[in-house]
Structure 1
Amino acid sequence: MNRRVLSLFRPYAGRVLLITGLIGLSAGLGTAVPFLTRAMVDQGLLAPGGPRAGLLAALLGATAAAAAAAGGIGVLQAHLSSRMGQDVLERLRTDLYAHLQRLPLTFFTGTRTGEIQARVIGDVAEVQSVAGATVPAMLANVVTCLATTACLVALSWRLALVSICLLPAAAWLTARVATHQRRVVAAVQRSRAEMNVIAEETLSVSGILLARVFGRQDHGVRRFGDESRRLAGLQVRAAVGAQALGAALQALFLVAPAVVYLAAGLGRPPTPGTLLAFTSLQARLFLPAGQLMQVAVQFRAATAVFERIFEYLDRRPSVVDGPGAVAARRDAVRGEIALTGVTFRYGGHAVLRDVTLRIRPGQFAAVVGESGSGKTTLAHLVMRLHDPDEGVVTLDGVDVRRLTRDSLAALFGVVTQEPVLFHATVADNLRYAKAAATAGELEAACRAARIHDRVVRLPDGYDSMVGERGSRLSGGEKQRLAIARAILNDPPVLILDEATSALDAESERQVQEALTPLLPGRTTLVVTHRPDTVRAADVIFVLHEGRLVEQGRHEELLAKGGRYAELVHRLPERGGSVGAVPAGP
């Protein structure tokens, strides 16, 4: 794990070398000060014949210059270290976000949104100290310790040996605390993620509405408060552990000079200046050594956070561009869709079983069946959001796995049961499908979807904010705006996944009227559990428990008296049919 964390800095090897050089220069200037101090004592204050004021002044100037230079170099080194840390952090955050974009839908259906947000934002922010401060601090302390040890040996190898022998005790204390801190930090991160989940679930528009409808605000407050108190307790434990280590190391370092004095008295004592310089340098050894040990604790504790990040980065996308994948030529796409012997399993359960069907170019096709029959999964396979476990899905006779994902995605316009709208303007939501769309193209798409007149009545027209998840629009208006977005890029294939099933009868009629003129000239696949809404389809495919059990036109399937007829007779009539000519006033 530590090697993997350090590998994040590999692209910045040149900057690391520069920082290390500056640290070495700063450490060299710092270690020169005790030698200047020795000269001031032995040759300036205690010189035969009395103090030498001129020499003392010169040595004072040299000491001030060395200290100022070391301080200036330290500021430059800190700037470079912080910049490098932020670059590492930004790259890690962006890589994680980009990687999540490529993970299969099954990952997102099985993971809470708040948990994902906690890792992308909270966990990456937690490692900021490691990237921006901990690793540079490790370098600085290692260089300082090595330089100081060399100077101590130069002053008195015997006393240097005594000082170095004190370090194992500090190392033992650090190792004990490090193990404790790592467990606590991991628990802190889990608690923060849980708080993020609670906030995301209960502070959304739907969460607030649900709590008020059922009078459960107090329940949410208690749940959040319990987790908040747990987090506070964990953070106290982490703070106490760090302080305990600091106190133990401080006590050890305070005793160290006395040990040196004792060792000096047992043999031939050094000069007063040498002894003073040695104890000054000893502080420069023990202080960075103690900091290095504390940094080691922080680094080891931070590995718990890195493990959470790397856990996501180690997940492999299930749908990737294969070797030799080519971009689909939009101008050459006819829109023929075929599934041959397709089986798809999720969690060991077969959602689709040996499905074979064909949709001709420009055809209006429908997939019907009860909930759980595999309808939406079939649509996802057509768009290559999943790959089949067995069989093949083709577009115009080409296996979709031989087409690049980006070029394939550009061929589809999709409208789902719950339209996804961002808290942004109408124009921004529309341009999500076509970033370079002009104002004229936006208006044309909205007119085609029968939503333009409503948009222009909004306070700022196309620059009006739609609210969280489109909360400022009705269900039918949100759906028609989603239709406008889907057709903005004039896709050759249009997929409607339960696009009207959640609407009331009037909203459903309006959406169907918006859809009807958009279907000719493009292949359309409608997914629904209500067969009465797709009576005008050119072909209807009936799924039952993942198998294709019937196919044909509405009248043909009704006459058979099979599964389709059973679905039609079971469900009440609600409105018109998608693709049907709307009734006059």
Structure 2
Amino acid sequence: MANPDFVATSSRQGPRTSGGPGDGPGRGGGAAARVNPADIKQLKAHPVKTSRITSLFSPHKGALIAVMALISVASVIGLAQPFLIRSIIDNALPNQDVALLAWLAGGLVAVAAATAIIGVIQTWMATAVGQRVMHSLRTRLFSHLQLQSLSFFTRTRGGEVQSRLTNDIAGMQGVVTSTATSIASNLTTAVATAIAMVVLSPKLSLLSLIVIPPAVWLSRKVALLRRDITSAKQRELAGMYTQIEEGLSISGVRLAKTLGTTARDASRFSSSSSKLIDLEMRSQLAGRWRMATMGIVFAAIPAIIYLAAGLPATSDGMSIGTLVAFTALQGAIFRPIMGLLNVGVQWVSAMALFSRIFEYLDLIPEITAPTEPAVLDVAQVRGEVRFEDVGFAYDGGRPVLSGIDLHLPAGSHTAVVGPTGSGKSTLGALLPRLHDPASGRITIDGIDLRDIAPTDLSRIVGVVSQETYLIHDSIRENLLLADPNADDETLWKALDSAQIAALIAALPEQLDTLVGARGHRFSGGEQQRLAIARTILRNPRVLVLDEATSALDNTTEALVQQALDDLAIGRTTLTIAHRLSTVGSSDQLVVLESGAVTERGTPAELVAADGAYAALLAAGETPVPAPA
């Protein structure tokens, strides 16, 4: 029988378990459940229509009906076992009827085999439906989240996104394979068992109405105690896992060593581990009490039945076989009743799960692809860029850019300088359309960026920033992200242009060298040059350089700058400069202050003008890059 104790997993509170091993119908009497306050809060904030959920499963309606039918058939077939046992005890054995005994014994095996086979088929069909729906929902959610703007990921914890994409959607399968199937199974079993009990003995069935309710109440009472303890333990475990993730990552270890917090972190971890000792002890003791309680319940119910069967007023001439069969049915009805008592909680948990998934699917992307993108040949793009009265503000706050008018002729090099917070990096982020202007527009060859298909724009505009990102894979796989069809010869040419081919060739595994998490096996300058090689493979007509050398030493900077200069040849280049030493060769120099252009011209012209740029040079200012 499927376990009905499906509960959604929340990254905010840690895993919510069903009560630990031994819980659930058919495994000790069923775990009691309580509605999680977080689920209620989630549903209030983002209600879910049942029709929206059923629409997910409507393509698999036939399979689901078949699953429910199989569950019902298995439950009914399973009820034949007590009647077969009654015939063995009352007829076959006393009369020494070997033929009848053989048929009845074979019937017991056949019933067990039939229910087992039906159970396998039911599980296969339910799991297949759940996996298909989960696959569809998972890919939809992943694709939809990719459309969200950078600001969404800035204000949303990465763990929360991962939890909804993995834990919540994986838990969604439980709605099919656990919750829905267990409700059907428990309901069918409980009704069929009750009918069979009445058929066997109406008087003992009436007695069961008195015996079962207190037994169920006692079981739930003890189960709830363990549930609370288990929830506390899971929350503490979640906190410990967070400490492990943060404290033992490359960045976390580096931070702890540089700040000297290793002893403090170890103390926090020890404290958390110590709390788990007490919680585990209480959990095990509560579990033992629960098992003891259930043992008493399951011993007391048959004892009462046997006692009633021995009294003239209630025996009603009952045979031994009937008594054994009735006792078996009495024990079988307890579990599905416990499972049905949890239906309300299961429903709320399942709805909260879907609410969390739909909440993300309902997010409206701030940057949308054009419904009718402009038709253009990327290979023929000249790369003439214009900023026309561009303004921008983050989340409706104060303006970061205002009234920006810039012309970047095709193949020219424009550098943007200014103090920290002047809007330089924001200006650079608008060109690859990481953000959209709040006002005005940006064009390439006269076409508004918002009218260019995202795939085309990513091929036209390349970005090399200070914060490079390398995936945890080989050098080859990192480069092939830019051009999946590139051969090794093309890769080596790109590495050579990026001034790093000799270093890679000297490595034992060369292109198959693993770069490590976020590229940490390589120095900052080496990571930059690998990123440049990747951009070279992309061969963009427009290039945005968001000061890729500002955090490097002089020797490494010279190598990276040479690679950048080679990369910029023949391309329209916009350099966001935090070091004034990198802008001397630019065709056009733009000075930003408080989000507005205050000066523009060639470097020589601005020096001669003795204005803001000259003042920056005189001060020797090299502002530290920061988000504008």
Give the TM-score category using the shorter length: 0.7 to 0.9
User: Equivalent residue for 2:432?
Assistant: 383
Give CA deviations for 1:156-206 in whole Å, capped at 9, x if unaligned: 566546545766667767887898899888877765665454434332333
1:286 to 334, 337, 349: 334
Is it true that 1:16 corresponds to 2:64 in the alignment?
yes
What letter matches 2:260 in structure 1? G
Is it true that 1:541 corresponds to 2:586 in the alignment?
no
- Structure 1 residues 447, 276: closer, same or farther in 2, change over 3 A? same
Report deviation, 1:370.
2.1
Q: Distance in 2 between matches of 1:476 and 1:230?
A: 45
Report deviation, 1:544.
1.8
- Structure 1 residues 81, 309: closer, same or farther in 2, change over 3 A? same
Q: Superposed, which structure 2 residues align to 1:23-422 within 5 Å? A: 23-44=71-92, 50=95, 52-89=97-134, 93-117=138-162, 120-121=165-166, 132-156=177-201, 159-160=204-205, 163=208, 194-228=239-273, 254-257=299-302, 266=313, 269=316, 271-272=318-319, 273-293=321-341, 312-326=360-374, 328-347=376-395, 348-422=397-471
SS in 2 for 1:72: helix
Report deviation, 1:141.
2.2
Kept after mapping to 2: 8 A contact 1:186/1:305: no
Q: Distance in 2 between matches of 1:558 and 1:518?
A: 27
Report deviation, 1:502.
0.9
Kept after mapping to 2: 8 A contact 1:340/1:391: yes
Kept after mapping to 2: 8 A contact 1:85/1:132: yes
- Structure 1 residues 260, 481: closer, same or farther in 2, change over 3 A? same
Q: Superposed, which structure 2 residues align to 1:459-538 within 5 Å? A: 459-538=508-587
- TM-score, length-normalised on structure 2? 0.78
Report deviation, 1:462.
1.9
Q: Distance in 2 between matches of 1:87 and 1:443?
A: 42
Report deviation, 1:30.
0.7
User: Equivalent residue for 1:582?
Assistant: none
Q: Distance in 1 between matches of 2:243 and 2:198?
A: 58
SS in 1 for 2:531: helix
Q: Distance in 1 between matches of 2:431 and 2:526?
A: 27
What letter matches 1:216 in structure 2? T
- Structure 1 residues 24, 252: closer, same or farther in 2, change over 3 A? same
Aligned residues: 571
- Structure 1 residues 165, 418: closer, same or farther in 2, change over 3 A? same
Q: Distance in 1 between matches of 2:98 and 2:230?
A: 56
Q: Distance in 2 between matches of 1:326 and 1:363?
A: 24
Give CA deviations for 1:258-298 in whole Å, capped at 9, x if unaligned: 66668776568263244443332232222222244467766
SS in 1 for 2:79: helix
Of the structure 1 ranges 57-66 and 300-309, higher mean CA displacement relative to structure 2 is found in: 300-309
User: Equivalent residue for 1:456?
Assistant: 505
Report deviation, 1:490.
0.9
SS in 2 for 1:491: coil
SS in 2 for 1:427: helix
Give CA deviations for 1:113-158 in whole Å, capped at 9, x if unaligned: 4554455455666667666444433332233223323433444566
Of the structure 1 ranges 81-90 and 145-154, higher mean CA displacement relative to structure 2 is found in: 81-90
Segments of 5+ residues of structure 1 without an aligned counterpart are: 575-585
Give CA deviations for 1:91-121 in whole Å, capped at 9, x if unaligned: 5555444443333212322344455445545
User: Equivalent residue for 2:27?
Assistant: none
Report deviation, 1:500.
1.1
1:441 to 480, 486, 490: 490
Of the structure 1 ranges 238-247 and 412-421, higher mean CA displacement relative to structure 2 is found in: 238-247
- Structure 1 residues 127, 443: closer, same or farther in 2, change over 3 A? same
SS in 1 for 2:570: coil
Q: Distance in 2 between matches of 1:181 and 1:298?
A: 18
- Paired-residue identity, %: 41
Kept after mapping to 2: 8 A contact 1:182/1:304: no
What letter matches 2:426 in structure 1? T
Kept after mapping to 1: 8 A contact 2:468/2:528: yes
Kept after mapping to 2: 8 A contact 1:496/1:527: yes
- Structure 1 residues 559, 207: closer, same or farther in 2, change over 3 A? same
Report deviation, 1:450.
1.9
Q: Distance in 2 between matches of 1:235 and 1:120?
A: 30
Q: Distance in 2 between matches of 1:296 and 1:245?
A: 22
Give CA deviations for 1:45-84 in whole Å, capped at 9, x if unaligned: 56xxx55444333322222222222223223333444455
Report deviation, 1:442.
0.9
SS in 1 for 2:538: coil
SS in 2 for 1:410: helix
Report deviation, 1:434.
1.2
What letter matches 1:395 in structure 2? I
Give CA deviations for 1:387-420 in whole Å, capped at 9, x if unaligned: 2233323332222222222222222221110221
- Structure 1 residues 507, 365: closer, same or farther in 2, change over 3 A? same
- Structure 1 residues 491, 135: closer, same or farther in 2, change over 3 A? same
